[in-house]
A and B are shown apart, each in its own frame.
Chain A
Amino acid sequence: MCLAIPMRLEERDEFSGRVSLDGVSRQISLMLFPEAEVGQWLLVHAGYAISAIDEQQAEETLALLSEYAGEMMEL
Chain B
Amino acid sequence: MRTRDPFSDSEAVRGLAREIAREAEELEARLTIMEVCGSHTHAIARAGLRSLLPEKIRLISGPGCPVCVTPVDWLDHAIALVERGDVILSSFGDLMRVPSSRRTLEEIRSEGAPVEILYSPRDALKLARSRPEKKIVFLAVGFETTAPTIAAALVEAEAEGLENFLILPGNKTMPEPMRLIAGDPEIAVDAFLLPGHVSVITGSDAFEFLARDYGLPGIVAGFAPTDVLRAVLEIIAQGKHGEAKIVNAYGRVVTREGNQAARKILDEVFVASPARWRGLGEIPASGLDLRPELAHRNAALLPVELPEPIEPPGCRCGEVLKGMIDPPECPLFGAPCIPERPVGACMVSSEGSCAAWYRHERWRNMESGR
CB within 8 Å of B: which residues of A? 1-4, 29, 31-34, 43, 45-48, 50-54, 57, 59-64, 66-68, 71-72, 74-75
Assess whether B2 is in contact with A66, with CB atoms less than 8 Å apart. yes
A sample of 7 more A-B contacts (CB under 8 A), given A47-B121, A60-B4, is A32-B152, A33-B262, A50-B145, A57-B253, A61-B222, A66-B2, A71-B42
Q: Mark B110-128, 1 if CB is under 8 A from A, else 0.
A: 0000000001111100000
Chain B residues closer than 8 Å to A53, beta-carbon distance: 253
Assess whether A67 is in contact with B146, with CB atoms less than 8 Å apart. no
Assess whether A4 is in contact with B265, with CB atoms less than 8 Å apart. no
Give bound CA distance, A71 to B93, whole Å: 13
Give bound CA distance, A64 to B4, whole Å: 9
Assess whether B38 is in contact with A2, with CB atoms less than 8 Å apart. yes
Tell which of B10-18, B185-193, B194-202, B275-283 binds the partner. Answer: B194-202
Assess whether A72 is in contact with B152, with CB atoms less than 8 Å apart. no
- Say which residue of B3, B5, B197, B259 sits within 8 Å of A33 (CB atoms): B259
Known: A2-B195, A63-B6. A68 touches B46 (CB 8 A): yes
Assess whether A50 is in contact with B152, with CB atoms less than 8 Å apart. no
CB within 8 Å of A: which residues of B? 1-7, 37-39, 42-43, 46, 65-67, 92-94, 119-123, 141-146, 148-149, 152, 155-156, 195, 197-198, 200-201, 222-224, 251-253, 259, 261-262, 265, 349-351, 359
- Say which residue of B67, B142, B259 sits within 8 Å of A50 (CB atoms): B259
Assess whether A60 is in contact with B253, with CB atoms less than 8 Å apart. no
Beta-carbon nearest neighbor of B356 in chain A: A71
Chain A residues closer than 8 Å to B6, beta-carbon distance: 60, 63-64, 67
Known: A46-B119, A47-B120, A53-B253. A1 touches B2 (CB 8 A): no
- Say which residue of A1, A29, A54, A59 sits within 8 Å of B251 (CB atoms): A54
Known: A67-B5, A68-B46. A1 touches B200 (CB 8 A): no
Chain A residues closer than 8 Å to B351, beta-carbon distance: 1, 72, 75
* A46–chain B nearest beta-carbon distance, Å: 4
Chain B residues closer than 8 Å to A2, beta-carbon distance: 37-39, 66, 142-146, 195, 197-198
